[in-house]
Chain A
């Protein structure tokens, strides 16, 4: 699942728009964290535990959004936006939304300026006992 906040995906072409997908989560603050936070309010600076809490919650919201996109049969989400809002004292809502789309292959394999489709022959002519191709260099 490719997730980007641009309207297009570099290297891919969008062939179908599946619709809006969203994910949200509302998190309450932890009492122990609140105590350390109130101490931090005296000296200022970053509230590391809150940063972690919100980052974790936001990841959950994104995961819910991705799950919705998978249910729609999409393989990418474009134009993702985030919003955070204070719902009640001590609770925050994290919301992520975007457009689920289906994409087709990489358009970033230029073959001398022509519009020829990518080669149909698979890279590994995997007969029985043949050596599998080396895995693509990841990272």
Chain B
């Protein structure tokens, strides 16, 4: 009986956490992707480039640095599934979608702050990704920060 409890209780909690990760995690991810697509559509006319020079035809008076950042965590299901992926190798699709979300979000935040400052374009953008979970090993829960920064071209003094 005691052995049964020792096995069933941890197993049940793992199943509950997996369900939680699956239901809430998936819903939130889908909602976030829908939100990203909507915001990308509204900003699609705004020029963002990683070229270092001012695009032809633009005459900015000054420029300023703009930043966008986000920290994202994976859900329990993804962390769990990645354990299997570690055995067989190959693309970790669950983590690629996580990083993709973070990167698009960071880029959009940078664009939105540039537009709020009245910029005409953002040039020389750079992406930077870093692991901020600070832990390694089996229990490491992936947490990543994505930073996007660039130079916003302004039509007049800010």
Residues of A within 8 A of B (CB): 2-7, 9-12, 29, 37-38, 40-47, 50-51, 54-55, 58, 62, 80-86, 88-92, 106, 108, 136-139
B residues near A, CB below 8 A?
Answer: 17, 20-21, 24-25, 28-29, 32, 52-54, 59-65, 67, 69-76, 78-79, 98, 102, 105, 118, 123-124, 126, 128, 130-135, 141, 143, 145, 147, 149-151, 153, 156-158
Ordered by A's residue number, 23 sampled pairs between the chains whose C-beta atoms are within 8 Å are A2-B62, A3-B64, A4-B63, A5-B65, A6-B52, A9-B63, A37-B73, A38-B141, A40-B73, A42-B20, A43-B25, A44-B21, A44-B72, A44-B73, A46-B105, A47-B72, A50-B71, A81-B126, A82-B128, A84-B145, A86-B132, A86-B133, A88-B134
Q: Are B132 and A84 closer than 8 Å at their CB atoms?
A: yes
Once bound together, how far apart are the Cα atoms of A24 and B134, in whole Å?
18
CB distance from B33 to the nearest CB of A (A): 12
Number of residue pairs A-B, CB distance < 8 angstroms: 151
Contact B25–A45 (Cβ < 8 Å): yes
With known contacts A12-B62, A47-B143, A50-B145, A4–B21 Cβ distance under 8 A: no
Q: Which residue of B lies closest to A62 (CB)?
A: B65
Q: Which residues of A contact B53 (CB under 8 A)?
A: 6
Tell me which residues across on chain B come within 8 A of A81, comparing CB atoms.
126
Interface of A is mostly: mixed
Counting from the closest, the 3 A-B pairs by CB-CB distance are A44-B75, A50-B71, A84-B130
> What are the residues of chain B within 8 A of A108 when measuring CB–CB?
59-61
Inter-chain CA distance A129–B58, complex, in Å, is 40
